[in-house]
Amino acid sequence: MKRILCALLSALLLLTLTACGGKKPAEDPSVQPPIEQPDTPDTPDPPAPSEAEQSLADLRETIRAAGAALGCASLGATYGNDALDLHALLEDNGYAARYPFLLDLPSKLAVSTGGWEIYCIVPADEDVSITVNEFGWPSWDAEGPVAGEVLWESGSGTPLCIAANVSDIMPDTQITVTAADGTAVIYQPFLSLRDGSLAVPKDGTVYDFTVYPEGFVRETTA
């Protein structure tokens, strides 16, 4: 009798446990299962600028910080050699080391009017247009020098090197840099007769990045 009673109790206990374990709690419909996010591929970092690109970017920043619209430097002289290898000259006079971007420019001058003085023009911004014109007296009775024939033009702010100024006392080439808003800066590069430095306007629109000898002191700006 005790065995039968024990068996019945065991069976009853088993049924109770089964009933309790088989019933699942009701799910809360407001709880949403987590959404798995797809793996996002890593975006590669942009390539670092080259030494030449960085030198140009740094110079443009310096020009802008000075409040100028363009930079100009006197790079040397052609000494009458219209076929001058500009890169060789820049390597010899140290400009290539100081401004590596110059070696990315063509080895031939963009404009040569027959003058010996070599200038590099660098706009402060890329989003500009550049026009190079002849500059001089159209006739003996003219009221003053004017811009003449277009020698070179570009719709971008890519730097360029020119040879200009047959005369020491009269510039013969005009540079016009026009911004996207139509603002234009007009400049005729030439060297001062007082100290040989690059003559720049007093309004600060042109920044001189010429490399001068150590201890050089500018006597004049124009």
User: How many C-alpha atoms does 85 have within 13 Å on its Cβ side?
Assistant: 4
Whole-model pTM? 0.78
Q: Are 77 and 215 in contact (CB under 8 A)?
A: no
**Where along the chain do its domains lie?**
51-208
CA 207 vs CA 27, 68, 72, 122, 150: distances in Å: 74, 6, 6, 9, 24
Question: SS3 of 208, please?
Answer: strand
One digit per residue, the tens of pLDDT, for the chain of length 222 reads 555 555 555 555 555 545 555 555 556 566 666 677 676 666 777 778 799 999 999 999 999 999 999 999 999 999 988 789 999 999 999 999 999 999 999 999 999 988 999 999 999 999 999 999 999 988 888 888 999 999 999 999 999 999 999 998 899 999 999 999 999 999 999 999 999 999 999 999 999 999 999 888 887 655
CA 171/CA 136 separation, integer angstroms: 8
Q: Are 135 and 186 in contact (CB under 8 A)?
A: no
- Strand ranges (E), 43-181: 70-77, 111-112, 117-123, 128-136, 146-154, 160-164, 173-179
How many of the other CB atoms lie within 10 Å of CB of 64? 14
In three-state form (DSSP H/G/I as H, E/B as E, the rest C), the secondary structure along 13-39 is: HHHHHHHHHHCCCCCCCCCCCCCCCCC
Residue 57's identity, in one-letter code, is A
